[in-house]
Structures are given as structure tokens and as C-alpha cells.
Amino acid sequence: MTTVVPIETAKPAVQPGQRVGVLLINLGTPDTADAPGVRVYLREFLSDPRVIEDQGLIWQLVLNGIILRRRPRTKALDYRKIWNDEKNESPLKTITRSQSDKLASALSDREHVVVDWAMRYGNPSIRAGIDALIAKGCERILAVPLYPQYSASTSATVCDEVFRVLSRLRAQPTLRVTPPYYEDEAYIEALATSIEAHLATLPFKPELIVASFHGMPKSYVDKGDPYQGHCIATTEALRRRLGMETSKLLLTFQSRFGNDEWLQPYTDKTMERLAKEGVRRIAVVTPGFAADCLETLEEIAQENAEIFKHNGGEQFAAIPCLNDSDPGMDVIRTLVLRELQGWI
């Protein structure tokens, strides 16, 4: 007869002297807010077949002949608008480092757990993060993609890179990857708490809230990517928690790129339409981003605010991401501790 040991009473698999690594992973950022730095970042990002699936000759000509010649200059100007000059880095890097530091502090009573952070594109790289954890004696590693909603162009490419790094190693650490948490109770509660707290500080009451998620080509979803369904599930769960009707909490998609049809409705077009229809006060939340970045601080808080006001809107509020706030860290800590069960 086989005896099943309950997880609460099972002895941890990690023995004295062994360590467990936790690697927080976000999308990435240029190392510098200038055209050369942005060019290096965009080349790595747009050369990933998970991001641009057709990496054929035509795309290579467009990428190297047009995009990498023109876009770095304009995107560098956007990065300059939000750049952390004190640390000479993007806010995404500042916040992700802080998330890592705060998680390490929260797990400090578990001396065998080591926390670090990495970026899928740019620095610090996933390879550098894994190498650092192994150097500290970590024989087991939990990779934590900081994407609430799964997509092949975010979560999957993180796994691709982690597996590529491990494929070069003769002595591989044991690996786990946290799942997407798009309707996790702790995540929805943290979003709701953050939204309510921010709305309470505003000098106006928004007529409605827009939940803007990063977009993707519609063809990716047609081929089976679950991303759109996850975004819908997050929005519906958030509506239930906040007690809001569909018309008062809208779902949109931002950051479209190229000429293909992307997931709709588009955020910028929605801002224009709402303002023209007479909406004067609005708030935007970005639930798909675990940390504020170019897409939230510049594209939403500046570009879309301008679109809204240019078309008749009057008051616009961009609600911060969860970042390294207490509610945000509760989500990360809950997710990590859940996935470390049996190891610690």
C-alpha cells in the first residue's frame, strides 16, 4: 500500500547546505536612453520569433533597412521622458530590482532561498541571473515570469530562454516555472485595492475606467494563443470585485505595431471615441503590467492622455501598476511561496 504524505507535513526536499533560487523575470529595457541603446534592445526583441513569428527575408529587410534605422531615435526620445536619471536606468529596471529586494527581505527567514532578477531582453540577462544563482549554490530554481496573462510572446519566450541557458549546462539545476495568475484571488484583490486607493486620491470622480492590456496580432490568437481569453477573465474578475458594470470598466488593447490587425478595441481609438461621445473624466489601469514601464508611463499616461484631452476630454488619470507596493508584493510572495511547496 502506498502512503500519501500531506504537503503540509511532508519534509522539505531541500537538504541542509542546499539552496533554492527564485528568479523574477520581466520583459526588458534598453541599457541607455539613446538611439544606440534602443537599437540594441529592439534588435534583440524584434528578432525573437515568439514576438515576430515570420522572421523571413522580407521581415529582415524591413527590420534592418527601416525599423532599426528610424525607430531607435524616436523611441529614445520617449524613453527620455520617463528615464530614472538618478540611477541612469528605466523605471522598469528600478522597480523590478526593488521587487526582487523586497521579496528577498520577505523570505529572509528562509536562509536557503536566494532571490534574484533578470530581463528577457537586455540586462541583466536570464543567463546572468541563472549563472549567479548557480554560483550561490542553488540546485533548484523557480523562474517567475512577471506576466499575469500568458502569451507565447511573453511567458513562453521566457521559458525558451531559460531552457536555452540550461541546455548549455552539464549539471543542470532542477527547474520550476510559475503559472500565469490572471484570475488568481490575490492578484485580483491587489488590483482592486490599488485602484480603490488611487481613485480616493483623485480630485475628480472618473465616469468610467479603462483596463488597457498590451495588444498582439489577432492571428496569434487565431492560432491558439490564450492571451485574449486571459485578459477577458482578468477584466471580468475585476468587475465582479469592484461591483462595476461592463460599461463602466472597459477592456482595450494598446501598443499595436505594423499593419496587421491586432486585438480590439484599440486603447487609443477608444480614448478618442469616448471623448467625442462626451466622456469628460476617465481613469486607465494597466493590469497586464507588473511594473510601470514605457507602455504605461509614456504611452498611457502621456500619449493617450493627450488623445483623450485633444478630443474633448478634460480629466485623465493613469493608475500606477502594482509595482513594488505592498499589494503588489503580496501577489508575488503568494505566488512564489505556493510554487515552492515541497522544496522549502
What domains appear along the chain, each with residue ranges and CATH number? 19-181+326-339 (3.40.50.1400), 185-318 (3.40.50.1400)
Please report which confidence band the pLDDT of residue 5 belongs to, taking 50, 70 and 90 as the band edges.
very low
Contact 270, 252 (CB under 8 A): yes
Asked whether residue 258 carries a pLDDT value surpassing 90, the answer given is no
Residues in the chain: 344
Quick one: which of 65, 22, 21 has its CA closest to 43? 65
Asked whether residue 157 carries a pLDDT value surpassing 90, the answer given is yes
Q: Which residues pair with 331 in a beta bridge?
A: none
- Segment 263-283 shows an average pLDDT of 98
Please report which confidence band the pLDDT of residue 199 belongs to, taking 50, 70 and 90 as the band edges.
very high
Q: Which residues pair with 28 in a beta bridge?
A: 121
Asked whether residue 16 carries a pLDDT value surpassing 90, the answer given is no
- Segment 77-97 shows an average pLDDT of 98
C-alpha–C-alpha distance, residues 43 and 39, integer Å: 6
- Give the whole-number percent of the chain exceeding pLDDT 90: 93
C-alpha–C-alpha distance, residues 111 and 133, integer Å: 14
Asked whether residue 39 carries a pLDDT value surpassing 80, the answer given is yes
C-alpha–C-alpha distance, residues 59 and 53, integer Å: 10
Q: Which residues are annotated as a binding site for Fe(2+)?
A: 214, 295
Q: What is the pLDDT of residue 169?
A: 96
DSSP string for residues in 28-86: EE-SSSSHHHHHHHHHHHHT-TTTSS--SHHHHHHIIIIIHHHHHHHHHHHHHHH-BTT
Contact 14, 20 (CB under 8 A): yes
- Segment 20-25 shows an average pLDDT of 98
Supply the pTM of this predicted model: 0.94
- Give the whole-number percent of the chain exceeding pLDDT 70: 95
Q: What is the pLDDT of residue 18?
A: 84
Q: Could you tell me which residue, 258 or 195, shows the higher pLDDT?
A: 195
100-121 pLDDT tens trace: 999 999 999 998 999 999 999 9
Q: What is the pLDDT of residue 2?
A: 46
What is the layout of strands, in order, in the sheet containing 208-214? 249-254, 208-214, 281-285, 315-318
C-alpha cell at 312: 474633448
Please report which confidence band the pLDDT of residue 6 belongs to, taking 50, 70 and 90 as the band edges.
low
Asked whether residue 13 carries a pLDDT value surpassing 90, the answer given is no
Q: Which residues are annotated as a binding site?
A: 214, 295
Asked whether residue 297 carries a pLDDT value surpassing 80, the answer given is yes
Please report which confidence band the pLDDT of residue 259 belongs to, taking 50, 70 and 90 as the band edges.
confident
